[in-house]
Amino acid sequence: MTAISAAGLTKRYGRVAAVEDVSFDITEGEIVGFLGPNGAGKTTTLRLLAGLIHPTQGTSQILGRPVPGSGLLEVGTMIEEPSFYPYLTGRANLKHASLLHGGVSENRIDEVLEFVRMEQASNKKVAAYSQGMRQRLGLARALLWRPRVLLLDEPTNGLDPVGIAEIRENLRMIAREGVTILISSHILAEIEKVVERILAIDKGKLRFDGPLQQLLQRLDAQTLSYRLAATDHEALNRALRTLGYTPEPVDDRFVRVTVPTAEASRLLSQLIEHQVEILEARREADTLEGAYLRLVEEDGRPS
Amino acid sequence: MNATVNVIRAELFKALRKRRTYILAALQWVLLPVLVLIAGRVVQVNVSGSFVDEGELVDTIIQVIASPFGIARLSLMGPSYVSPTFYMIVIALFAALLIGEEKSQNMWKTALVAQPNRLAVLGGKFVVAMTLYAAFLLGAYLSSILFGAIGMVFLPTNFTGEWGALLGLYALQWLHGAAAFMFAFLMIFLARNIALGIVMVFFLPALLEGLYTVYRTAIGFQPLNRLNVIFQALRLRTTLEELPRYFFTYNQYAPARSPTFELVTALGGDAAGSDFGPFSNFLGAGITLSHATLVMAGYAVFFGALLTWLFLRRDVQ
């Protein structure tokens, strides 16, 4: 069964098209990454699917029912930074949402709080929560009524690496229960371990719809970025320039260098040949502002 | 229907956890009766037995203002004579709590996902607003009885009074709140900003009505002058002269202000024979309660229809 369906979805603000003619179908149980740089139209699309804004053209459906409509009662969302009533406790915020939706027991509130490891802090007022706690509480609220569809917009925004790993693990557990998840991010590395399929959007238009592996191959087929540190910073810069690369300073210690994928495996040995003593070499997470945009610019049309 | 009930339960849950709800209730339920009792005591101590106290004059005055019935009557009238009226302050603040916070706290994206039936969301919020307002007014009525009874310990007062009729006026004042809430919801939703919305609720009707009054006082509709020639040609003169009968504020507070003349008479004034001129409407004269209720029903339908149309159509962030 199709869980989420968009057909020619368009949203214009005056003459500016935030989303233009976006169409896709997501089958029930699929976990789909929604990728695109900031301002690409991800959040607008999610808002359209959640019935918060009305399309200028096109339609969408959730579980076969038109949006807006009763299908939305089966949807949990976390769109942008989760917001709460600051004068209520975390638990009271969940209680309010559960009353609003209906059919949610007190036990379920305990369950979701336990799931996101927020039982201890749940009786504190939300005004005192950290960004990470708010993010986790937002996920708990999205799960309150056991939604069959989850729309998550940058759920790891502002989280530290531990928090990101926790959210990622939570999503894997939710996915195992058969929940359909559409998760947006502008950082490929954040979601590549969770999703199976990618929808990529840029300037409001859908540029890519296919398996994650296909996108990764296309990105890898071009360039990779590394962060390098050496005992002699200047020698490292000189060697990179000699080899024909352009080192970009990151800080006093690291430089970033982008190399064609085919040459990546030879990079370290070439530096050693130039008498550069490498202390650290890290492959950088490919951000969509970088790698994906290169793909789009070179490709220029949807796949 | 279930969706509306869900919204009512959720919004009551929220409102009862907001300190503002209790502060407003305390101001009306406790502060006003206490002030009236203090005033009654001051009159008793300072005027009783003095040269102005002929016969039972002071006892009568104290009965009129500080008896249980007197306090209940003042609790209904008093809030309608401050500016902005305490009724409008209460209505604006409840409206801000129920429909303004979603914008200021960025909560629409949560509320309308938890309950996507927008008509139910709006209907539920309106029911909660009216419920809180009913509790506010009923509490004022009941607290007057309580504080009035306490006052009977040290003041020469008793329970005499037209309690049933007064309760009817309270109920009518509550009913008139429907139009005021529709207006307040509309302004706050329209403004997308609580502070601006509240300012509009407080001052927009007064501003429009004030401009009319200035025009009427300074120029008037009677003489055929350059400004009035258009109205005269359009045969609008009579309509414009009659306009104050349809003003929002005059009609809204008609039930609360209707005991004014009764009170003035009870205190020895000659209200019935006086001509208050432009203040007649302000004092609750010149319009009947049935007229006022019909006018407010019209406002409720107009503001309600506009609000519903906007609420169903508007994109929320």
For chain B, 317 residues long, the average pLDDT of each consecutive 10-residue run is 93 93 91 93 82 73 92 92 87 93 90 94 96 96 96 93 95 96 95 90 88 82 72 76 85 90 76 62 75 95 97 89
The Cα B250–Cα B286 span in angstroms is 10
Most B CBs within 10 Å, among A44, A99, A149, A152, to test the B interface: A99
**Residue A290's pLDDT is what?**
55
Cβ atoms within 10 Å of B118's Cβ, excluding its own: 19
Q: List the structure tokens of B61.
A: 């005055």
Are B315 and A77 in contact (CB < 8 Å)? no
Using the Cβ of A126 and the Cβ atoms of chain B, whether some distance falls under 8 Å is answered with no
Most A CBs within 10 Å, among B19, B110, B115, B317, to test the A interface: B110
- First-to-last alpha carbon distance for chain A, in angstroms, is 24
User: To 5 degrees, how large is the angle CA A176–CA A131–CA A124?
Assistant: 95
**Residue A297's pLDDT is what?**
60
**What pLDDT digit, counting tens, does each position of B27-82 carry?**
889 999 999 999 999 988 888 777 666 666 788 889 999 999 999 999 999 888 88
Q: List the structure tokens of A229.
A: 């540190």
Using the Cβ of B13 and the Cβ atoms of chain A, whether some distance falls under 8 Å is answered with yes
How many CA atoms lie less than 13 Å away from B299 in the CB half-sphere? 25
**What pLDDT digit, counting tens, does each position of A138-187 carry?**
999 999 999 999 999 988 877 777 888 888 888 888 888 889 999 998 77
Using the Cβ of A123 and the Cβ atoms of chain B, whether some distance falls under 8 Å is answered with no
**Residue B274's pLDDT is what?**
62
**Residue B316's pLDDT is what?**
86
Concatenated DSSP letters for B229-245? HHHHHTT-HHHHHHGGG
Cβ atoms within 10 Å of A262's Cβ, excluding its own: 11
**Residue B235's pLDDT is what?**
75
Whether the pLDDT of residue A213 is over 80: the answer is no
Cβ atoms within 10 Å of B97's Cβ, excluding its own: 22
**Residue B264's pLDDT is what?**
78
Domain count, chain B: 1
Using the Cβ of A12 and the Cβ atoms of chain B, whether some distance falls under 8 Å is answered with no
**Residue B223's pLDDT is what?**
65
pLDDT tier, A303 (very low <50, low <70, confident <90, very high otherwise):
very low
**Residue A302's pLDDT is what?**
40
Domains recognised in chain A with CATH numbers: 2-218 (3.40.50.300), 222-286 (3.30.70.1150)
Cβ atoms within 10 Å of A299's Cβ, excluding its own: 12
Whether the pLDDT of residue A243 is over 60: the answer is yes
Among chain A residues, the shortest Cα distance to B116 is held by A72
**What pLDDT digit, counting tens, does each position of A262-294 carry?**
777 788 888 888 888 888 888 776 554 455 655
Question: In the A/B pair of chains, how many CB contacts fall below 8 A?
Answer: 84
Using the Cβ of A55 and the Cβ atoms of chain B, whether some distance falls under 8 Å is answered with no
**Of the candidates B7, B106, B109, which has its C-beta nearest A100's C-beta?**
B7
Whether the pLDDT of residue A99 is over 80: the answer is yes
Q: What is the average pLDDT score of chain A?
A: 86
Residues 6+ apart with CB under 8 A from A143: A76, A112, A115, A150, A174
Instruction: Decide: residue A125, CB within 10 A, 0-12 exposed, 13-18 middle, 19+ buried.
Output: middle
Answer left, alpha or beta for residue B109, where phi above 0 means left and psi between -120 and 50 means alpha: alpha
The Cα B182–Cα B190 span in angstroms is 12
Sheet of A205-211: strand order equals A75-78, A149-153, A180-185, A31-35, A197-202, A205-211
Whole domain around residue B210: which residue ranges? 2-313
Interstrand relation of A75-78 and A65-66 (parallel, antiparallel or unpaired): unpaired
ipTM value for the complex: 0.85
Residues in chain A within 8 Å Cβ distance of B101: 85
Nearest chain A Cα distance for residue B121, angstroms: 9
Per the CB < 8 A criterion, the answer to whether A39 and A23 are in contact is: no
**What pLDDT digit, counting tens, does each position of A21-67 carry?**
999 999 999 999 998 888 889 999 999 999 999 999 999 999 999 99
**Residue B272's pLDDT is what?**
61
Nearest chain B Cα distance for residue A294, angstroms: 31
Per the CB < 8 A criterion, the answer to whether A33 and A191 are in contact is: yes
How many CA atoms lie less than 13 Å away from A157 in the CB half-sphere? 17
**What pLDDT digit, counting tens, does each position of B168-203 carry?**
999 999 999 999 999 999 999 999 888 999 999 998
**Of the candidates A50, A69, A95, which has its C-beta nearest B113's C-beta?**
A50
pLDDT tier, A222 (very low <50, low <70, confident <90, very high otherwise):
low
Most A CBs within 10 Å, among B104, B109, B194, B310, to test the A interface: B109
Q: List the structure tokens of B207.
A: 């501003």
